[in-house]
Amino acid sequence: MLFCVEMTVKIPLDSDPVKMDEIKRAEKARAIELQQSGKWPHLWRVTGQYSNISIFDVESNNELHELLMSLPLFPYMQMKVTALSTHPSSIR
């Protein structure tokens, strides 16, 4: 199952910068792990924003939910999830 996930990070201004640097390092490591596994095949930054648009390839809604919740920045994210299906005019 393919999903488009739009993630926007909203870190509170009064957050501890040292703690946030640790969380960001852990986030990068987790994102790399999920990409290498094939579960997160596409990751694009949205220019000028602290956000991304990603494609996830998972077995179920529950698997996607668990993967998203495993992201260290999850508590600071707003997400929009869209299920994708094949378009009848697609040549792929």
Enumerate the domain spans of the chain: 2-84
CA dist 21 → 44, 50, 70, 73, 91 (Å): 21, 15, 17, 11, 43
Direct distance between the N- and C-terminal alpha carbons of the chain, in angstroms, rounded to an integer? 16
Q: What is the pLDDT of residue 79?
A: 98
pLDDT at 70: 98
- Say what the pTM is: 0.92
Q: What residue type is 26 in one-letter code? A: A
Mean pLDDT by 10 residues, the chain (92 residues): 98 97 98 98 98 98 98 98 95 86
At 81 the pLDDT is: 98
Fold of 2-84: Alpha-Beta Plaits (3.30.70)
Distances 5 to 14, 17, 20, 77 between C-alpha atoms, Å: 27, 27, 22, 11
